[in-house]
Chain A
Amino acid sequence: MQTRMVRSFQGLLLIGMFIFFASKAANGQLTWYINSRFIPLTIFGTIFLAVLAQVIFSEVKRLRREQETGHDHDHAPAPMNLWFMLLPLLIGVFIPARPLDSSAFATKGFNTNSPLVSADTSAQIFETDSEERNVLDWIKLYNYEANTAQFEGQKASVIGFVYFDETLSEGQFFVSRFVVSCCAADGFAIAMPAEWSEAATLEQDSWVLVKGTIKSVMLNDKVVPMIVAETIQPVPVPNQPYLYP
C-alpha cells in the first residue's frame, strides 16, 4: 500500500509539472524565464514529463496486480524527494508571474554602456535602419563606434519599461530592458535615457514605445545615446520581454 501511494503521488506531481510547463508554453510566458532559443527543448521536456507520468501510472497498476498475487518488488523513491518537487509548483501557482523589472535593479544593477558583444556584430547593426534598432543595439553601437556624432539626429523607435533614477534630471527617465543569455538568473539590465516634457506622467515599470531622435549625452563620464522623445505610447508587455545578446 505504502509503495503504491508514493508512486501515485509521484505520478500526480509529474502531471502537475506537465500542466505547469504546458500552460507556460501555451500562454507564452516561457520567455519570461528563459531565452527563446531553449523553448524547443523545453517543449520536448514537457512532452517527456507526460510520458513519464504514463509510465508511473502503469507502474501503479502493475503494483496493484502484484499485490494481489503477493509480490512487491518495487523501490519507491524517498517521499522527501517528492515533497521538494512541490516547491516550484507552489511558487508557480501562488506568486503571480512577472518578468524581471526595475525591482531587480537593486541587486542586479543596470548598465548604460555595457560591452556586450564582440565588435564584429556592430557592423550589422550599423547597416540596419535606425528605427529598427532596439535598446541593446543602440548601446552596442555607442560602445564600438568611435565616432558617435554620426548617430545624432537619427530617428529612433524603441520599446522598454520606464525607470526613474535620481541621476537623471527632471523630464528624463530610462527606457530599460533585461538582456538574458540563458535564463532569468543571468539577466542584467540595460537602459538608455529619454527626455520628454510629460515624463512625470509615466509610471515606473510601465512598458512604452518611445519615438524620437538620438542625441549624445554624457552620463557617468561616458557618451551614451539619449532619445529626445516626440511621442510615447503605452504598450503591453512584449511577447519577448528580454533581449538576447
Chain B
Amino acid sequence: MMPAGFFTWLWDRLNVFATVFLGIFVEAVPYLLLGTLASGLVEVFLDRDQMSKWVSGRPVASAVSGALMGMIFPVCECGVVPLTRRLFHKGLPLSAGISFLLAAPVLNPIVIFSTAAAFGWGQMLFWRMGLSLLIAVVTGLIFSVEKEADNVLRPSLTFFHEHDHAHDEDLPSFLEKIRKALLITADEFFEMGRYLILGAVLAAALQTFISQSVLLTLGSGPVLSVLIMLGLAILLSICSTVDAFVALGFVGTFSFGSVLSFLVFGPMVDIKSVMMYSQVFKKRSVIYIVAIPFMISLLSGLIFNYVQP
C-alpha cells in the first residue's frame, strides 16, 4: 500500500505544476493573439509587390533591416513566430526573416525600456541590444546562403491559396478583408497555441521536478556560471518583455557576463519558442536557429567573465 504522504506529495506537485503551467499560458495568450492578429492583417493588407519594394536583395542590408524591423512591429517571442512565417509567405527574404525572428523580441521599444528600468541606461542595456543585433544578423546571413525557402520552412494549412480568391468576383470589401484576417488569427492561434501548450507543459514539469536552487548553487566559475544561466533561460521560458526584472534577481550571485548571456539568449531560445519554431521550420533549420545563438551567447558570456570578472 502507498503511504498517505506520497499522495499529499503528488497532489502538491500537481498543484505547483498547474499554477506554473497556467501562469505561462495566461501570460502568453494575449501576446500570441496579438502576433497572430498581426499575421492575419499582413496577409490581407500587404501584397507581395509592396514587400519586394521595401526589402533589399543584398544579404547584409536585408539581415540588418530584418533585425531592426522589431522597432516597428513590437512583438515578443510568442507573437513573432506566426508573424515571421506570414512575412516569409509574402516574399520576405530568408536572411531578413530569420534576423527579424531572433532580434524582434529584444530590439523593440518595450524591451529597451523594461531593460533600462531594471538595469539603467548603461552597459547591460547596450551590450544586450548590441549582441542581440549581432547574433540575429550573423544567423540571418548564414541562412542567406540557402536560396530555396521550401528547404527551410514547413508547409502550412493556414495559408490561403489563390483559388480561395477566385470566386470573389470584385475586390473584397474592407469588412470582408477584416473577416478573413480574423479567421486567419483564430486558426493560427490554435496552430501556434498547440506548441505553446506543449512548451508550457514541459517547462512547468521541469520546474515541478527539477530543483532550481541546486542549479543556482552550482553557479560559480566563469564557464559553469554562463552555462547555468543559459540553461535557466531555456528552463524558465520567460517573456522577453519582463525577463530583465527576473535577471536582476541573479545579479550578485552571477557575474555580469553570465547575466548578459541570459538576457541575450533567453528571448531567442526557450522551451516554448523552440516548440513553435519546430512548427514553422524544418528540423535542420531549427538546429541552426538554436545552435548559433547558443554558441555566440556562450562565447560572449565567457569573454565578459574573463575581461571583467
Contacts and interface: CB of A to CB of B under 8 A. Distances in A.
B224 interface: no
B12 interface: yes
Given A115-B253, A183-B24, A73 B164 contact: yes
A32 B20 CA distance: 10
Interface in B239-255: 239, 241-243, 245-246, 248-249, 251-253
Interface in B125-176: 157-158, 160, 163-164, 167
Contact of A182 (B27, B30, B118, B179): B27
A16 to B, nearest CB: 12
A118 B238 contact: no
Interface in B248-286: 248-249, 251-253
Nearest to A116: B249
B23 A183 contact: yes
A91 B22 contact: yes
A110 B197 CA distance: 27
Contacts of B204: 185
Contact of B210 (A107, A179, A181, A185): A107
Contacts of B198: 84
Interface stretch (B43-51, B96-104, B185-193, B297-305): B185-193
A103 B30 contact: no
Contacts of A51: 182
**Interface size class for chain B?**
35 or more
B190 A10 contact: yes
B197 A85 contact: yes
B19 interface: yes
A205 B106 CA distance: 38
A209 interface: no
B52 interface: no
Q: Chain A interface secondary structure, helix, strand, loop or mixed? A: helix
B234 to A, nearest CB: 12
A232 interface: no
A77 B29 CA distance: 18
Contact of B157 (A24, A78, A109): A78
Interface stretch (B62-70, B86-94, B211-219): B211-219
Interface string B1-40: 0000000000011111011111111110111010001000
B132 to A, nearest CB: 19
A80 B191 CA distance: 9
Give the interface size bracket for A toward B: 35 or more
A182 B203 contact: no
Given A116-B248, A245-B245, A88 B186 contact: no
A95 B12 CA distance: 11
Contact of B209 (A56, A73, A99, A107): A107
B133 to A, nearest CB: 24
B56 interface: no
Contacts of A45: 29-30, 33
Contacts of A42: 26, 29-30
Contacts of B119: 118
A245 B248 contact: yes
A33 to B, nearest CB: 4
A48 B37 CA distance: 10
A184 B19 CA distance: 7
A78 B191 contact: yes
A235 interface: no
Interface in A41-85: 41-42, 44-45, 48-49, 51-52, 55-56, 58-59, 71, 73, 75, 77-78, 80-82, 84-85
B188 to A, nearest CB: 9
Contacts of A56: 183, 186
A34 B15 contact: no
Given A48-B33, A100-B16, A183-B26, 15 more contacts: A33-B19, A52-B185, A75-B158, A77-B157, A78-B191, A80-B194, A84-B193, A85-B190, A98-B19, A106-B211, A116-B249, A181-B242, A181-B243, A183-B27, A185-B23
Q: Give the 8 A-B CB pairs with smallest separation, nearest first.
A: A109-B213, A184-B23, A45-B30, A103-B12, A115-B252, A183-B23, A183-B27, A181-B245
Interface of B: 12-16, 18-27, 29-31, 33, 37, 118-120, 157-158, 160, 163-164, 167, 179, 182-183, 185-187, 189-191, 193-194, 197-198, 201, 203-204, 207-213, 216, 236-239, 241-243, 245-246, 248-249, 251-253
13 contacts: A33-B27, A48-B33, A75-B160, A75-B187, A77-B157, A84-B190, A103-B16, A181-B243, A183-B239, A184-B22, A185-B236, A185-B238, A186-B246
